[in-house]
Chains A and B, each alone.
Chain A
């Protein structure tokens, strides 16, 4: 009965796609006529619609959000003791001044005395102590944050406006840690809650320019302006209540759909963009995509030196030399840039180390020959039963980099090295990392601090560990720089890290959205943000 109809579903499909594309193109053209221009005088009012991705999105608990995207709206809820500005320097915020002892084991902060939380409680030294103690007491539930806090011995409150942190061992990165959203100060009412209660969405009370008023579960939440806010960091342009009336947080899981929503003006700002959309955004007259790299490390491969083959410095150096980074970048988005150090170019401790990142395929092959790795029948080099066959593991958020990784795979194949790669769930990834069951992991630290070196490379190399110990005990940023350089040089020379490129951090917004002030982590200060009224 339905004899010659096989082709029809395909036809219907093609027609639908054509219709969608056509309509989309029309929409795009129409959208092109409105457009930015935009004045520079802030406009009051409006609700910023922001889309984020990540885990635990129903939670507004600063302590669980150490990733960039979810931290942005949480930044509006809580303030921090100090502010790390875009050039990496620290400014007063809730603390007006601070003292660090010469071993970086004792931090004393003097607090503002005019700050209140949105529930009316006052910010004093005891509130700060409770806020940080609550994180420490929960231990592994706030695993990352506690790693940043380090070996805290005691928090004391000699005066209502003085709070002192004392450490069992030096932690010169603590100032950077307290500047993060994750260590933002919450009200005593919130500090007294159980971990579970803190995850409910509307229970986090801070002193920030916005207050959570509505939770939409996994779909996001709503923030409203606090009318009596008056204590932003000094470098904020707006010293009063936020320009925006509120912020709506959305969690559209699919990056392409979110990108389409941004183009259509359904949302104003988004985090996480696919390479193809990044390229498009950078050419779109209606949109802005920020060009700051992720402020932590360059993207690349972190080497597991326990793996046979990778335990030889010559092999590691050969692998780094065999990568033609221009070819890798061709597959990336149009705005990513070549690496110039282990640090991304906007990390406060960055210096130009591009001399240590070079390409020389012949030299790579020579190094491998010399080290005794001979090509087998399958083209993969081997020595004494071990093959130069490696795996690279990463989380699903790295999937958009796979085309670039494939370029490395083929370049390494030319010198007789096999690479396989694949994404794993956070649970499996961390299990493999903890048990050492991997050759390379994806390096993508986002903390704008020198401590990302220790956090990743501690315990590999006694010489490096020595530098790390010195770094941790050195409170002075200028004195830290040469040490940081030394560590970076050592890591690159020894091939503990194979840099690929600096990843442009994925914050994009419509030109009607203005975010004049950023932290070092490139998180915007939301009390400064404003929207053009159309």
Chain B
């Protein structure tokens, strides 16, 4: 998938607003550039995935037959699958399929699954709420938890406490998500019986997957925050000026360093959300939950082009939205940017 690099989300060189120019025109231009950007991201992601899927061996029609358990090799060779290919549109040329997919997309029609004929929008409608709940809750917990961890890794006087707090995020991030998921299941569901081990029936079933993902997000955010906080704490204003004016360490960190340290955090936030979504896919499979991650895994396996492409479009849009939010975040954090309008340099998007 082609995704905007973090550089894309950095504020471009900015120019001061023409004091006499109309503010509305500038806003319109910014929005227009954003929209173009979004369309480009979706189109590139769509095209790349389409071509990738096309080189996968076999097709959805072959995938839906089943395996040698129920169909003998001789019967398999004798099957008339071309009529089904024609029916689902797999007999057309590459260019034709691509074009009809793109035009469908432009009309907002994502097509139907090649495996079970159900509309992709219906499948997305069933899967998306579950995934959004999972990622939303995880983000909700992971941001404050990440900040907390970072503060514990920087503020206390005790070097032992700081080192341990700095170590935890790296340790957690280095473990594979599925492994942690399995461990949590064995520990909290199977052995202790506190929570259901899978599914998405009832609120209790969300606890373990949200915990796995929140900790993952918190660890990732903490890693970034710790290094940027450390850098800020070492700078003259925090290391010399503030203490000289009588400010305590904690006060300096909270009042001055945290805001400055939040910039790199914001810069990677969009990417981290991407990592979180990838983690969600794994978690959904491990915890046997409905969701777009599980749908994606199953659909890629079955070469279900239309469903995978529908998912890619949705995910690309999510990225665009998050990156836009990140840019808004910059403007809110940095008073300098609030007085200026970002203008993309030419040739971009």
Contacts and interface: CB of A to CB of B under 8 A. Distances in A.
Nearest to B205: A219
Interface string B262-303: 000000000000000000000001101110001100100111
Most chain A beta-carbon neighbours within 10 Å: one of B56, B163, B186 = B186
B287 to A, nearest CB: 9
Given A20-B191, A216-B201, A250 B288 contact: yes
B241 to A, nearest CB: 23
Interface string B70-93: 111111111111011000000000
A403 interface: no
B72 A219 contact: no
Interface string B45-82: 00000000000111111111111111111111111110
A386 interface: no
Give the dominant DSSP class at A's interface.
helix
A288 B329 CA distance: 59
Contact of A431 (B58, B68, B72): B58
A20 B189 CA distance: 11
B8 interface: no
Contacts of A27: 190-191
A200 B63 contact: no
A53 to B, nearest CB: 11
A159 interface: no
Contact of A252 (B68, B175, B198): B198
Contact of B60 (A8, A216, A266, A427): A427
Interface string A229-272: 00000000000000000000011111011001101101000000
A59 B116 contact: yes
Contact of B112 (A196, A424, A452, A456): A196
Contacts of A24: 186, 190-191
B26 interface: no
A427 B185 contact: no
Nearest to A426: B63
Given A8-B171, A196-B117, A2 B166 contact: yes
Given A20-B187, A427-B57, A199 B84 contact: no
A19 B286 CA distance: 21
B306 interface: no
Interface in A201-215: none
A218 B295 CA distance: 8
A9 B186 CA distance: 20
Contact of A257 (B80, B182, B289, B294): B182
Interface in A385-437: 394-395, 397, 424-434, 436
Contact of A433 (B73, B166, B189, B197): B73
B27 to A, nearest CB: 42
A457 interface: yes
Contacts of A426: 58, 62-67, 301-302
B183 interface: yes
Interface residues of B, number: 73
A459 interface: yes
Contacts of B198: 219, 250, 252, 257
Contact of A5 (B60, B67, B118, B167): B167
Interface string B114-136: 01111100000011000000000
A192 interface: no
Interface string A16-44: 11011001101100000000000000000
A479 interface: no
Given A139-B84, A445-B72, A427 B66 contact: no
Given A67-B70, A257-B198, A19 B290 contact: no
B324 interface: no
Most chain A beta-carbon neighbours within 10 Å: one of B69, B84, B190, B298 = B69
A217 interface: yes
B193 interface: yes
B74 A459 contact: yes
Contacts of A261: 190, 197
A206 B321 CA distance: 46
A125 to B, nearest CB: 28
B290 A434 contact: no
Given A147-B71, A457-B74, A196 B62 contact: no
A90 interface: no
Interface in A442-467: 442-447, 452, 454-460
A1 B226 CA distance: 12
B301 A425 contact: yes
B49 to A, nearest CB: 16
A98 interface: no
> 3 closest Cβ contacts across the A-B interface?
A427-B58, A455-B72, A456-B72
26 contacts: A1-B163, A5-B167, A13-B171, A19-B187, A20-B186, A67-B69, A141-B64, A143-B84, A147-B79, A196-B116, A196-B118, A196-B119, A216-B201, A219-B200, A250-B199, A251-B288, A252-B288, A302-B73, A425-B303, A427-B63, A430-B67, A441-B68, A445-B69, A454-B72, A456-B75, A458-B72
Interface of A: 1-2, 5, 8-9, 12-13, 16-17, 19-20, 23-24, 26-27, 55-56, 58-59, 64, 66-68, 139-141, 143-144, 147, 194-196, 199-200, 216-220, 250-254, 256-257, 260-261, 263-264, 266, 296, 302, 394-395, 397, 424-434, 436, 441-447, 452, 454-460
